[in-house]
Amino acid sequence: MTTTAHVTVPAGPPPPAPPRAGRPRRADLGERTIPYLLLAPAVITMLVLLGWPAVQVVAISFRRLDLGELVRGEIVWIGLDNYRAALSDPEVWTVVLRTVVFTACVVAATVLVAGLLAILLRHLAPGVRVAVQTFLVLAWATPIVAATTVFQWIFDQQYGILNKTLVKLGFDGFAGYSWFSSGPSTLTVIGLMIVWQAVPFVCFTIYAGLLTAPRELYEAAAMDGASPWQAFTTVSWPSIRPLVMLATFLSVIWDFKVFAQVWAFRQGGPDGESTTLPVLLYLKGIASRHFGLASAIAVLMILVLLVLTARYLQLLLRSKEGDL
Amino acid sequence: MKRWTKVMTGAAAIALATAGCAGSGGTDSGGDAAAGEDRTLTVWLMDGSAPETLTDALHEEFEQANDGVTVKYEIQPWNGIQDKLTTALASQNPPDVIELGNTQAPAFAAEGVLTDLSGDVDALHGDQWLDSLKASGEWDGKQFSTPFYAANREIIYRTDMFEQAGIAAPPTSREEWLDAITKLEAKFGSDPQFQSLYLPGQNWYALLSFIWDEGGDIATKDGTNFSAALTTPEAKAGLEFYKQLVDASGTTAPKDNDEQNPVQAGIFGQGKVAMMIGLPWEVATATEDAPDLKDKISGFPIPSKNAGETAPVFQGGSNLAIPVNSANADLAKDYLKLLLSEKYQTMLAEAGMVPGASTDLSPLEADPVSKAMAEAAKNGRSVPATPAWATIEAGQNPLKDMLTAYLTGAKSLDQATADANTALDEAFSSGA
């Protein structure tokens, strides 16, 4: 769901602006409205498909909308009751904190591993590089359902290949070891899988950035006696910085709202210890058929995300032409 | 895997349902079409519920008896059904007859989206109804859904292994059951892969049996309010017996997962397991890759602590209901009357299910595994008929967490039961 979304990443400078009309003149009404008319279908589609559901979520969060109201088509406004119900539960704060920490760890690991892989790709011989890239694409293309099933098998208590391998290697304590006996352990396994799924996209993004740094710059740096670290900080980093920012930002959004993988392993267990915000939303809202409460938690999630990504949004709004 | 594909489709369905409904005004009950006019009765039954021979005969008879009526029969998959029903019930044109999982039924009844059938119980052969399913269909003293069919767990065992271990007859008391485990372990225990009883840590259906057998229950009912009763000595004794079984058999099944993960029938089919607690049709799964086991499998009811009796069992199954928005409620009632009649209930029993509206279980006796289910069926019970139960099953079941915590030693018996009691009470209060 999250890791397979496609985002086009500009790899080079923006295309030059079209040449202005040679002779300045007052455009007539038709000519001035044409651009807006041409934009209209896209804008309207976006408003209907993206804007309207978002407005609905916020509106529903102020309503009591259980199955009965839904079937009878009643609209019952209850003000902030849903928010009160969501926030008065002490569990919510634990879950928010857990989700934030989980997201931070997963994003950091993703970007770090992907960055190192991207640099490795830059230094590999073409044949090996193509092989590594192929494996990355395969990992990326694996459907979430399939990948999750495979990971569940790997970590299975009795029949998992991981425990069997560890025992073969002499770690007898892992015979019948349960990787899902505690929340942190469960979340680590889930995080590992999410990182595995997310690395290819981020890696290719950063690799694309690395390619924009001309070889001559590295040669020049080498001639000036720069260490590899200096070459990285002065030549590579400036060219990949905007892309690392972008990848981090997107990863935060994706990993924060990841549901399928977390749910699939232990439904937020054991004892609710791997419950993240999206799981909480499903349990409290959808499974219990309190759609108003579900919407309220969804709005809270958006707020937390806004706080987490505030810095990036600030940069995005301040910068011109996406130049970060 | 199934569970979260269900969740994905469910989430999409809910999004659509909520978006589609936000703008709609009051309900439009439609009103029954005049008699004689062509009418269509939409019936939703679940995948694997009624055999095709039954529905074919039923629909032919029904259409002949009702002039101008066509039955639109749609088979629904279990995956995501709760959310699909939510969407369908909210529409202006819902199906006229629906099948509900018996643990989901109270959730729909409590929301007032089902037609009250209290006045029709007798006409719908109420005297023949299975108690546990009747209870599932009740809410606030009214009957909102009728029984359809049920199934309950039993102990499925290998006759050849029992014979070799010198066990003359299937156990009829807990003591004999534990004794059989000891004998099996003595005979086959040298094989490290052998398991006398495959019992994963989260088979809460089995736990329910043990708790009920002790005379306890998981919750007590007061009107429409339920309160958890897991801290009672009876409930604790049931949990202790569960642990006794796990310890005696030395089962290597995961303590933190249920009988579906991994699928226990598959493990049974590998031929190294002498007993498992399961449903009759799990035998088919077990023998899929091992057809030679077919003649070596039989079943016996879960024995009670009182010798000679069978332990009460959880009955899973389905109820039938008429959505409140149905435009053909009268016709739907006639349909239910026919489906719940002796003829079709017997056909259900012949297909290997406990019929919901027939006390005659003799058709089940032809097969030894089904026979064991029928024997225990007289003592069938259900989970608390509260809307909260659908939520508990969809999500984090405190009974499962309790079992895992106690069996792994993460919590003491008192701590595990107290925590689960609190969690269950919380679910009861928020789900309603």
- B17-30 pLDDT, tens digit per residue, is 434 333 333 333 33
For the CA atoms of B221, B227, B232, B237, what is the dihedral angle to 10 degrees?
80
Distances (CA, A) of B158 to B100, B162, B206, B273, B274: 34, 6, 19, 8, 5
Q: Smallest Cβ distance to B430: which of A65, A68, A288?
A: A288
The answer to whether A185 faces chain B, any CB pair under 8 Å, is no
B4/A67 Cβ within 8 A? no
Chain CA centroid to CA A276, Å: 15
Strands B297-300 and B142-143: unpaired
CA separation for the pair B374, B355 (Å, rounded):
10
Are A270 and B18 inside 8 Å of each other by CB? no
The answer to whether residue A291 neighbours chain B at the CB level (below 8 Å) is yes
Would you call A181 an interface residue with chain B, using a CB distance cutoff of 8 Å?
A: yes
Q: CA A5 from chain center: how many Å? A: 9
Nearest residue of B to residue A186, measured between CA atoms: B256
Backbone angles phi, psi at B227, to 5 degrees: -130, 140
The answer to whether A220 faces chain B, any CB pair under 8 Å, is no
Q: Write out pLDDT tens, residues A121-157.
A: 988 999 999 999 999 999 999 998 899 989 988 998 8
Kindly report the backbone phi and psi dihedral angles of residue B271, in degrees, each rounded to the nearest multiple of 5, phi listed first: 85, 10
**Is A237 part of a structural domain of the chain?**
yes
Residues of B in contact with A275 (CB under 8 A): 396
Distance CA A156, CA B416 (A): 25
CA distance B159 to B265: 16
Chain B environment of A70 (Cβ under 8 Å): 17-18, 21, 86, 89-90
* Residue pair B347/B119 in contact by the 8 Å Cβ criterion: no
Closest alpha carbon to B124 in B340, B273, B332, B269 = B340
Gap between the Cα atoms of A115 and A203, Å rounded: 6
Q: A287: which chain B residues are within 8 Å (Cβ-Cβ)?
A: 390-391, 394-395
* Contact predicate B354/B373, CB 8 Å: yes
In chain B, which among 104-123 make CB contacts under 8 A with chain A?
A: 107-108, 111-113
What's the predicted TM-score (pTM) here? 0.81
Orientation of helix A183-211 relative to helix A90-123, angle to 10°? 40
Q: What is the CA radius of gyration of chain B?
A: 23
Distance from CA of B111 to the nearest CA of A (A): 5
Q: How far is CA B197 from CA B69, B157, B247, B275, B309, in A?
A: 52, 9, 10, 5, 21
Better-scored residue on pLDDT, B107 or A22: B107
**Cα separations (Å) of A59 from A68, A75, A298?**
18, 11, 12
Task: Answer yes or no: is A261 within a domain.
Answer: yes
The answer, yes or no, to whether residue A194 has pLDDT greater than 90, is yes
SS3 breakdown of chain A: % helix, strand, coil, rounded to 5?
Answer: 70, 0, 25
* Domain presence at residue A129: yes
Residue B338 distance to chain A (closest CA, Å): 28
Is B395–A267 a contact, with Cβ atoms under 8 angstroms apart?
yes
Topology agreement, domain B37-151+315-381 and domain B154-313+387-431: yes
CATH of the domain at A57: 1.10.3720.10
Partners of A269 on chain B (C-beta within 8 Å) are 256, 396, 400-401
Q: What pLDDT was estimated at residue B5? A: 47
CA dist., res. B427 & res. A249, Å (int): 36
Distance (Å, rounded) from C-alpha A135 to C-alpha B386?
50
Cα–Cα distance measured from residue B337 to residue B347, given in angstroms and rounded to the nearest whole number: 15
Which B-chain residues 250-309 have CB contacts (< 8 A) with chain A?
Answer: 252-257, 261-262
Residue A291 belongs to what H/E stretch? helix A291-308
Q: Is the pLDDT of residue A230 over 80?
A: yes
Nearest to B255 by CA among A161, A182, A181: A181
Count of domains observed in chain A? 1
Nearest-neighbour CA in chain B from A144: distance (Å): 11
Kindly list the residues from chain A whose CB atom is less than 8 angstroms away from the CB atom of residue B394: 283, 287
- Of A71, A180, A282, which has the smallest distance from its Cβ to B256's Cβ? A180
Q: How far apart are CA B227 and CA A59, in angstroms?
A: 34
Cross-chain Cβ contact B252/A176 below 8 Å: yes
Q: What is the pLDDT of residue B207?
A: 96
Give the three-state DSSP class for B253: coil
CA-based nearest residue to A1, from B7, B374, B73, B290: B7
pLDDT-flagged residues of chain B (< 50): 1-34, 432
Which residues contact residue A218 at a Cβ distance below 8 angstroms, ignoring those fewer than 6 apart? A231, A235
Give the gap in angstroms from C-alpha A74 to the nearest C-alpha of chain B. 6
- Cβ under 8 Å to A: B residues 68-87: 83, 86
Q: Which residue of B has its CA nearest to A261?
A: B4
CATH number belonging to the domain at B154-313+387-431, selected among 3.40.50.620, 3.40.190.10, 3.40.50.1950, 3.10.180.10: 3.40.190.10
Residue A263 in domain: yes
State the DSSP code for A287: I
User: B37-151+315-381 falls under which CATH superfamily?
Assistant: Periplasmic binding protein-like II (3.40.190.10)
The residues, any chain, with a CB within 8 Å of residue B167's CB and separated by 6 or more, are: B180, B183, B184
Strand order in the sheet with B297-300: B275-278, B154-158, B297-300
Give the list of residues 6+ apart from residue A1 with CB closer than 8 angstroms, or none. A144, A258, A259, A260
Which residue of B1, B27, B404 is in closest CB contact with A270? B404
Instruction: Please name the residues in contact with B180: beta carbons below 8 A apart, sequence gap of 6 or more.
Output: B162, B165, B167, B171, B196, B275
Q: What share of chain B is helix, strand, coil (3-state, %, to 5)?
A: 45, 15, 35
Query: Is A29 within a domain?
Result: no
A15 contacts chain B (CB < 8 A): no
Round to whole Å and give the CA distance between B114 and A72. Answer: 12
Question: What is the pLDDT, as a whole number, of residue A123?
Answer: 87
Q: What angle do CA B131, B137, B143 make, to 5 degrees?
A: 100
pLDDT digits (tens, 9 = 90+) for A94-128: 999 999 999 999 999 999 999 999 999 988 999 99
A58 touching chain B per CB within 8 A:
no
Number of A:B CB contacts under 8 A? 129
Maximum Cα interatomic distance, chain A, rounded to a whole number of Å: 84
* Rounded average pLDDT over A83-100: 90
- Residue A2 confidence (pLDDT): 42
Q: Chain B closest CA to A108's CA: distance in Å?
A: 27
Rounded to an integer, the average pLDDT of A32-55 is 91
Q: Is the CB of residue B88 less than 8 Å from the CB of residue A67?
A: no
Contact B255, B203 (CB under 8 A): no
Q: How far is CA B19 from CA A52, A62, B27, in A?
A: 9, 15, 17
Would you tell me which residues 66-95 of chain A have a C-beta closer than 8 angstroms to some C-beta of chain B?
66-68, 70-75
Task: Say whether A65 and B404 touch across the interface (CB within 8 A).
Answer: no
- Residue A272, chain B, CB below 8 Å: the answer is yes
**Contact indicator for A99, A256 with CB cutoff of 8 Å:** yes
What is the value of ipTM here, to two decimals? 0.76
CB contact under 8 A, A73 and B11: no
pLDDT level of residue A20 (50, 70, 90 thresholds): low
Q: Find the residue in A nearest to B258 (Cα).
A: A266
Asked if B86 and A178 come within 8 Å (Cβ–Cβ), the reply is: no
Closest CA to B273 of B184, B367, B364, B179: B184
Contact criterion met (CB < 8 Å) for A286 and B22: no
Pairing state between β B69-76 and B39-46: parallel
Structural domain includes residue A86:
yes
* Cα distances (angstroms) measured from residue B180 to each of B169, B191, B275, B309: 10, 17, 10, 17
Whether B417 and chain A come into contact, CB under 8 Å, resolves to no
Across the interface, whether the CB atoms of B17 and A70 are under 8 A apart is answered: yes
Q: What is the pLDDT of residue A321?
A: 53
A176 touches chain B (CB under 8 A): yes
Residue A255 structural domain: 38-318
Please give the distance of CA B381 from its chain centroid, rounded to a whole number: 10
* Count of beta carbons in the 10 Å neighbourhood of residue B70: 14
**Cα distance between residue A167 and residue A110, in whole Å:** 29
Q: In chain B, where are the structural domains located?
A: 37-151+315-381, 154-313+387-431
**In this predicted structure, what is the pLDDT of residue B16?**
40
